[in-house]
Amino acid sequence: MTDYEVVIGLEVHAQLLTKTKLFCGCSTNFGQRPNTNVCPVCLGLPGSLPVINGQAVEMAVKTALALGCTIHEQSIFARKNYFYPDLPKGYQISQFEEPFSTQGHLDIEVDGKPKRVGITRAHMEEDAGKNLHGVGGDSVVDLNRAGVPLVEIVGDPDLRSSAEAAAYLRALRDLLVFTGVNDGNLEEGSFRCDANVSIRPRGSEKLGTRCELKNINSFRFVQRAIDAEVARQTIIVDGGGSIKQETRSFDPDTGQTATLRSKEDAHDYRYFPEPDLPPLVIDAKLLAKAKAELPESPAALRARWVSDLQLPLATAVTLSAHPEYARFFETARQGFKDAVKVANFVVNDVLRGAKTHGLEASFTVSAEHVRGLLSLIDSGQISGKQAKEVFAAIEADPTKSPADVVKEKGLKVVSDSGAIESAVKKVMASFPSQVAQLKAGKQGLIGFLVGQVMKETAGSADPKLVNELLNKLIAES
């Protein structure tokens, strides 16, 4: 690939999290019995008229604002005409010449290097239905998705590798999920990607002929599909051939792309303004409301945690993987000076049992329980080892507080120097070689000996007192 430069532009279709469809009152619930969430409007029956979903407009505006797009006060819906079984009207209501937002950007990072990717436009449109093949030997159509509200985010052709494309999709998905407009569920089709891929001689400014890879539903498959398509185009060009503009699919089993149909241009769709809908007006009041409700982006959140709380970047990335993770951490750390200690506990212990689905997440314990548990450690009432036992107990019975468990189990840090001293002397007698090396200056062994004393006392000794007594007794020996 040293002779060619890869040029990639992504088109992402993100389902807006409304309860009803874009132009009718039918439910958007996923997984319902086929063709039950339908009405004359989404079935395209003669005489039915669309009415815009106001909540969908608000969510679309938030999406565009999160991407730094310019919002246009007035935009026009258009009919995109094509004939396909999953499109009952024979056209899709979308936006073309006058979308509601243009010219944004998304910042990504690949191999530690930041990059800003341009956003050409973000516009609203309705989804089509779904063709199901091989059902009883036939092909059938489920129109439950027909009319579901989407925002299409068209990226500039700024991406230069499959790794950048995957990073872009992950950053975009995280941004939409944190904004609360999309659940990021690739498996259910609420976040889908089309990739426009071309190659050109390195150093050339002229774009090559692009092929569109359609409806790829995983970040890993996006990378594989782009790499396979780049390899295919390279072989053709190296052989003296030319690339044909077309739409292609990707088969993850074979790792190859295949022709679906010749690629249509805009004039093939015969776009014209939708006569049944007035111009969409986004007034100052709606815009101000959307701006006021816009949450902190995951990138800004990570930067703030790293800068203000001194969290390691990897920890901040883990905690910002889901908005509920972030909320849990922010709640748990209230009242603690050492946010790193709280973050490490959430990442290493709490998230191990967490489960997510869309924008929802469930945890085995509450943030208040974590705060209470860490307070017991900080105040010296229980040790770190005892905290593990308490945590397991509140996971098993979330109705109990950490203080309740400590009381029930009789857990308490032993601060009696006499009781601890006997354990220290026993450990020193059991490990004379390590004691001798420590006296000779090998300070790293102090941690080993403290650990042995904690083991001897079943984790109940005050670690600070153990350390002090060890140093005192070894110095005197």
Chain segment 381-397, per-residue pLDDT in tens:
777 778 888 899 999 99
List pLDDT tens digits, range 187-209.
888 999 999 999 999 999 999 99
Q: In terms of pTM, does the model score above 0.75? A: yes
| pLDDT at position 150 | 98
pLDDT beyond 80 at 462: no
HSE-up of residue 35 (Cα within 13 Å, Cβ side): 9
CB proximity list for 246: less than 8 A, separation 6 or greater: 211, 212, 259, 260, 261, 262, 263
pLDDT beyond 70 at 458: no
Distance CA 401, CA 362 (A): 18
| pLDDT at position 300 | 95
The predicted model gives 312-339 an average pLDDT of 95
| pLDDT at position 348 | 95
What residue spans define the domains of the chain?
4-289, 295-409, 417-476
Q: Which two tokens stand for residue 250?
A: 């990707």
Do residues 59 and 16 lie in contact, with contact meaning Cβ atoms separated by under 8 Å?
A: yes
The predicted model gives 417-444 an average pLDDT of 77
How large a percentage of the chain has pLDDT more than 70? Answer: 96
Do residues 463 and 387 lie in contact, with contact meaning Cβ atoms separated by under 8 Å?
A: no
Q: At CA 318, angle to CA 314 and CA 323, rounded to 5?
A: 140
- State how far the alpha carbon of 99 is from the alpha carbons of 23, 66, 203, 291, 458, in Å: 17, 16, 33, 19, 67
Fold exhibited by the domain 417-476: Arc Repressor Mutant, subunit A (1.10.10)
Packing angle, helices 463-476 and 432-439, rounded to 10: 80
List pLDDT tens digits, range 43-60.
999 999 999 999 999 999
29-38, 39-48, 97-106, 371-380: the lowest-pLDDT one:
371-380
- State how far the alpha carbon of 422 is from the alpha carbons of 117, 382, 402, in Å: 65, 20, 30
| pLDDT at position 415 | 53
